Amino acid sequence: MAIRSRGKHLKIDRLVGSLMASEQENKGVTATEHLLYNLCLKSFLRLWSYANPFKDDGNEFCDVIAVFDRHVFIFFDRYKYLPDLTEVDNPRVSWDRWKRRAIESQIKTAHGAERYLLSGRKLFLDAKKEKLFPVTFDISDAIIHKIVVAHGAAEACRKFSENNISGSLAISYSDKNIDVPFPFTINLEKSRPVHILDSNTLPIILGELDTVKDFANYLDAKIMAINKYEDLLYCGEEDLLANYWLNIDDQNKHFIGTYDEKINSFMVAEGAWESLKKRPEYKATKEANQQSYFWDDLINRTCENFLKGVLLGNSDLLEGRSAIREMAKEPRFIRRSIVELMFGAILNFPNNPTELMRHMRFIPSHEKGKGYVFLQIFVPPGFRNNNYGIDERTVRQEILLIACGAAKNHMPDLHTIIGIGIEPPKISTAIGEDFILLDCTDWSREREMEFREKNKGFNFFSTHTLRRHEGKTTEFVKPSRRRARTHRISKVGRNDPCPCGSGIKFKKCHGIHSD
């Protein structure tokens, strides 16, 4: 399956036009809903995030829903002002009223929304039920995450006690009838877990876990901890996130809790997140991650063209597999590694080519058996002017397909290869990419020989520079590694076009992170 990110209109029988219109209509009604929707757009990206969908009875289903593969994230946003409890006559009554309206009622709505989905009833983008929800998913295999965002208590929380650092709500998961500290602590059921965020933790959680993979992994780890411990208590969702980031098991996966299997209850004290932010590895990682957003830009630019109906190719990005969907599966630290290798390949492209020239780099995914072929192709003016009767982009796509097939022949363990083809940013300021998804699960002898024959003359993977990158990528970056990366990127002149292909000067694009 192939995609081109610019060109003539692609005829789509589905709802591209109505999607654009609905997005303009439904971006969140209140200021907090608008904030939630924008944060979801960054984490789950545009094609898979929708504000204010409707049920088949015309009533609103939730405030934001994001669907990607098996994961269904449903968000419920509620703002209720909580006065300063130190100044009211009956603080417990005020607290109970706020908790009931801002959290408990939303939890009931969340459980109802889950039942609605499990019943197989349809979702719509409008109250008139004219625009069907565009993302399909198998409800029998879906993982439903229910998230309630409660606003309005942060200031009252900070004023209530000097020990409250951020104003985050404390959360307890326990099926026991425990005596929860009053106020600002919420006790939740273990058997039907709902995730509670607030004004402070919402931007932290979605800001730190800003890919669908990272967010889903965190929620999965949290559910495991809820099921593992009789009581799980933390003073703020951000503190639980700090515990998650710092714990890595033998399988290189993050987890929540402790290595001690004898412990049956677990608590995360307040201040864990503030301590993590002060660590040099955290600061270095945040800085190093900046270049990874080029990957997000590639995905979003292609999604934008799909929604506008100007995407060439034979892939429907909303259903089935596609190169873009596979790219969106990558967690943040792998995106950082991929972009670092891409930028290195861009800088290594010859400065003044005069003939047809290509430069290819293979980059592994975090998923075993999956990888990327990043191909830059310079097509001489003769080809561009069609003196040879050959379209430049056709040449690039054909060579990209050959490179992907050669990758499979060179690495038989691969089952999915995503090809990314561009004009060399060093030479061209044009913005346009070709994407190919090569599903090589069933790789016959005939296909192997076909691509071996086509690869003659190109000789992809015949030299050490075209072999698999085997470097180890870690989630946190050491400060020394950060400095090395910065020096590497800064080889491009500040007034030169940015290597990412944006057409903007380097100093105003990715160069803003290279000082």
DSSP string for 275-316: HHHTSHHHHHHHHHGGGGHHHHHHHHHHHHHHHHT--EES--
Q: Which amino acid is at 388?
A: Y
pLDDT at 58 over 50: yes
pLDDT in tens, 252-299: 899 999 988 889 999 998 899 999 999 999 999 999 999 999 999 989
At residue 313 the predicted structure's pLDDT band, cuts being 50, 70 and 90, is very low
Q: Which residue has the higher pLDDT, 432 or 238?
A: 238
Task: Judge contact between 436 and 313, C-beta under 8 A.
Answer: no
Tell me the two tokens of residue 382.
Answer: 């003769």
pLDDT in tens, 380-397: 776 555 544 556 677 788
Instruction: DSSP letter for 468, please.
Output: P
Backbone dihedral region for residue 52 (phi beyond 0: left; psi -120 to 50: alpha; all else: beta) = left
Mean pLDDT value across residues 106-131: 96
pLDDT in tens, 448-496: 999 999 999 889 998 654 444 444 556 777 775 434 343 333 344 556 5
CB atoms within 10 A of CB 101: 15
Mean pLDDT value across residues 396-406: 92
Q: Give the chain's radius of gyration (CA, Å).
A: 25
Percentage of residues of the chain with pLDDT beyond 90: 57
- pLDDT number for residue 302: 83
pLDDT at 6 over 60: no
Task: Judge contact between 243 and 276, C-beta under 8 A.
Answer: no
- pLDDT number for residue 170: 93
Flag the least confident range among 85-89, 193-197, 379-383. Answer: 379-383
CA–CA separation, 493 and 271 (whole Å): 42
**Angle at which helices 201-208 and 31-44 cross, to 10°:** 20
CA–CA separation, 239 and 429 (whole Å): 45
Report the mean per-residue pLDDT for the chain. Answer: 83
Residue bearing tokens 């009875």: 57
CA–CA separation, 220 and 171 (whole Å): 17
pLDDT in tens, 12-27: 233 333 433 444 445 5
- pLDDT number for residue 46: 81
CA–CA separation, 43 and 247 (whole Å): 22
pLDDT in tens, 418-451: 999 988 888 877 667 889 999 999 999 999 999 9
Task: Judge contact between 242 and 205, C-beta under 8 A.
Answer: no
**Angle at which helices 201-208 and 237-246 cross, to 10°:** 30
**Angle at which helices 445-454 and 392-410 cross, to 10°:** 130
- pLDDT number for residue 428: 77
Three-state DSSP state, 187: strand
Q: Which residue has the higher pLDDT, 15 or 134?
A: 134
Flag the least confident range among 187-196, 246-255, 318-327, 502-511. Answer: 502-511
Contacts of 250 (CB under 8 A, 6+ apart): none
- pLDDT number for residue 261: 86
pLDDT at 148 over 50: yes
pLDDT in tens, 75-85: 999 999 999 99
Residue 8 burial (CB < 10 Å; 0-12/13-18/19+)?
Answer: exposed
Percentage of residues of the chain with pLDDT beyond 70: 79
Mean pLDDT value across residues 191-207: 95
CB atoms within 10 A of CB 179: 7
Residue bearing tokens 């402790």: 258
At residue 195 the predicted structure's pLDDT band, cuts being 50, 70 and 90, is very high
Q: Which phi and psi angles does 100 have, rounded to 5°?
A: -65, -40
